């Protein structure tokens, strides 16, 4: 195993470097395989437009449908409110028996991994544990291998999937001692990493420049903040999961301690699809349901008001009857607010 890991890690580094250009293309890949290979041939397909502005990106075993995801230059990924993060690697179908033979035999023949390891590999895949790469079961299952989630290549967790390539019959669950194996729950977690939500710049009244001790109303255009979702699937296994994010609260941080927020917690809950309330003429003497009152001038500069939306995230998928929770996610943005002293004239 140490020899195998050494080889695989070196191959992965070389592969990442050689595919840097591909990351800039319009195709978004689900993951990378070990050993410098792409994600197989029969089990892979290229990305394509779905005709609705989303891209159904395919790589290896996993396909992402992002047609109902957030979009636009200001959209961004959510950050988990806990220490949990989506998986950095996973196992999924990768090779048919013929493909595994084409992948492994050149490695053995190169004699760069050591004769002892090569012999053990041949015994495992050709003569003892399996016969001739399991070709007798062609069409009845796949060889599974590990993938590194796109964007997580340098993550230490990407090295957690270090088990040798293993066989799984169609309709059979992967081995119980491999928690990183693809399941609907794992697909939901991978889809979580693909969620994109709109920027959280809020509307303010007064806009841009306000006055000391003047309540400043804050609200969001709720038309931009509707549930978004991403579906991840493995067509080879006929399993899928859809992860959905719904906005539930807006938190306002004034950018200075010399300020009072409305409500006092600074958290404005969604209320019948609304976040805050738009200012209207005649409300100058009212307290805004969502907003801020600055107690000190920003001088020659401005305060960085930060608005962060919390998104409730859940999933459902193959064999799952009810929505299942995932950790909430947040996404925020800053905007400049100039606060001036109220000028008065003495007569």
Buried b (16+ CB within 10 A) or exposed e, 262-295: beeebebebeeebbbbebeeeeeeeebbbbbbbe
d(CA 298, CA 292): 14
Model pLDDT for residues 251-261, shown as the tens digit of each residue: 999 999 999 99
CB-CB contact of 243 with 232 (8 Å): yes
pLDDT at residue 275 in the model = 84
Model pLDDT for residues 173-215, shown as the tens digit of each residue: 889 899 999 999 999 999 999 999 988 888 999 988 999 999 9
Model pLDDT for residues 215-251, shown as the tens digit of each residue: 999 998 776 788 999 999 999 899 999 999 999 999 9
pLDDT at residue 23 is higher than 70:
no
- Mean pLDDT rounded to a whole number for the chain: 82
Q: Reduced to 3 states, what is the DSSP secondary structure of residue 272? A: coil
Mean pLDDT of the 116-121 span: 94
CB-CB contact of 181 with 233 (8 Å): no
User: 162 is written with which tokens?
Assistant: 């270090």
pLDDT at residue 346 in the model = 45
Which carries the bigger pLDDT value, residue 336 or residue 11? Answer: 336
Residue 53 banded pLDDT, cuts 50, 70, 90: very low
Predicted TM-score (pTM) of the model is 0.79
Question: Phi, psi at residue 56, to the nearest 5°?
Answer: -90, 95
Which carries the bigger pLDDT value, residue 130 or residue 272? Answer: 130
Which carries the bigger pLDDT value, residue 252 or residue 19? Answer: 252
Residue 59 banded pLDDT, cuts 50, 70, 90: very low
Question: Phi, psi at residue 224, to the nearest 5°?
Answer: -90, -10
Question: Phi, psi at residue 192, to the nearest 5°?
Answer: -55, -45
- How many CB atoms are located within 10 Å of the residue 48 CB? 12
The C-alpha angle with vertex 13 and arms to 120 and 80, in degrees rounded to 5, equals 110
The C-alpha angle with vertex 76 and arms to 73 and 77, in degrees rounded to 5, equals 160
pLDDT at residue 343 in the model = 66
pLDDT at residue 105 is higher than 90:
yes
pLDDT at residue 27 in the model = 28
**Residue 126 has what DSSP assignment?**
I
- Angle at which helix 97-110 crosses helix 115-122, to 10 degrees, equals 160
Mean pLDDT of the 302-321 span: 95
pLDDT at residue 16 in the model = 31
pLDDT at residue 52 in the model = 40
Between the CA of residue 163 and those of 8, 34, 62, 177, 267, what are the distances in Å? 11, 11, 19, 10, 46
pLDDT at residue 46 in the model = 34
- Alpha carbon 18 to chain centroid, angstroms: 24
User: 65 is written with which tokens?
Assistant: 């449908």
């Amino acid at each position: 195993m140490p020899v195998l890991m050494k080889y695989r890690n070196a191959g992965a580094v070389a592969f990442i470097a050689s595919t840097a250009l591909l990351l800039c293309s319009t195709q978004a890949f689900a993951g990378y395989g070990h050993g410098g290979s792409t994600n197989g041939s029969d089990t892979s397909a290229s990305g394509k437009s779905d005709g609705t502005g989303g891209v159904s990106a395919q790589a290896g075993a996993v396909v992402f449908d992002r047609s109902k995801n957030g979009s636009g230059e200001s959209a961004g990924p959510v950050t988990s409110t806990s220490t949990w993060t989506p998986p950095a690697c996973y196992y999924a179908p990768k090779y048919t028996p013929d493909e595994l033979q084409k992948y492994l035999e050149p490695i053995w023949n190169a004699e760069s991994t050591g004769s002892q390891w090569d012999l053990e590999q041949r015994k495992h895949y050709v003569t003892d544990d399996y016969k001739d790469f399991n070709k007798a079961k062609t069409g009845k299952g796949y060889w599974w291998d590990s993938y590194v989630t796109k964007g997580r290549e340098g993550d230490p967790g990407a090295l957690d999937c270090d088990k040798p390539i293993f066989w799984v019959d169609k309709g059979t669950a992967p081995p119980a001692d491999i928690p990183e194996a693809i399941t609907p729950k794992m697909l939901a977690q991978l889809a979580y990493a693909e969620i994109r939500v709109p920027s959280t710049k809020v509307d303010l009244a007064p806009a841009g420049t306000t006055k000391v001790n003047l309540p400043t109303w804050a609200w969001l255009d709720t038309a931009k903040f509707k549930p978004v979702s991403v579906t991840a699937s493995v067509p080879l296994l006929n399993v899928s999961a859809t992860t959905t994010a719904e906005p539930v609260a807006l938190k306002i941080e004034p950018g200075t301690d010399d300020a009072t927020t409305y409500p006092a917690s600074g958290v404005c809950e969604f209320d019948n699809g609304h976040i805050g309330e738009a200012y209207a003429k005649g409300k100058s003497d009212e307290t805004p349901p969502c907003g801020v009152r600055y107690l000190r001038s920003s001088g020659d500069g401005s305060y960085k008001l930060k608005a962060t939306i919390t998104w409730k995230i859940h999933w459902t998928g193959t064999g799952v009857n009810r929505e299942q929770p995932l950790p909430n996610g947040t996404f925020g943005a800053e905007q400049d607010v100039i606060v001036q002293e109220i000028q008065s004239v003495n007569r």
